[in-house]
Amino acid sequence: MNRITSSGRVAGEDQRASRKGALRGVTLDAAYSHRLENEIGSIEPGKLTKLILEDNPLTVDAIAIKDIGVWGTVMEGRKLKVGHADQSDAFLDLPSGARSRVEFAQAAIGHVIKLLDAHG
């Protein structure tokens, strides 16, 4: 979105993605490319995971998007703060099939953060 190189130069300014385009690329479009759009990629009832960000990527300064942290996630209708003790306890209580979905969600969160950092 910003297309700023490590030296601080803007590379291909005319090739910048919009905020909504960049966000869609790492959510809906990424889910679609993995044929998982019915399970992940948007905030809807029945989807496997949702990120709760510490700030709104559509309203913060564009250069600060890469610095937005993940506050937590939603699992089975409960808001869980990243690193909170209840989250690990809740994970241990899940059946093994649900654990793999949580592990997938955690990997997806990590992937989205890396993409946002790389393209911020």
pTM of the model: 0.55
Query: Which residues make beta-bridge pairs with 54?
Result: none
State phi, psi for 96 to the nearest 5 degrees: -60, -35
Query: Is 81 within a domain?
Result: yes
Give 46's DSSP letter: T
Which contiguous run of DSSP H or E holds residue 109? Answer: helix 96-119
Q: Count of domains in the chain?
A: 1
- Residue 96: which pLDDT band, with cuts at 50, 70 and 90? low
Average pLDDT of the segment spanning 76-84:
72
Instruction: Determine the 3-state secondary structure of 61 from DSSP.
Output: coil
Query: Is 31 within a domain?
Result: no
Question: What's the rounded Cα separation, in Å, for the pair 72 and 117?
Answer: 18
Instruction: Kindly report, residue by residue over 45-60, the tens digit of the pLDDT.
Output: 778 767 788 898 889 9
Q: Which domain holds residue 66?
A: 44-119
Query: Is 48 within a domain?
Result: yes
- Residue 85: which pLDDT band, with cuts at 50, 70 and 90? very low
Q: Give the pLDDT confidence score for residue 114 in this predicted structure.
A: 67
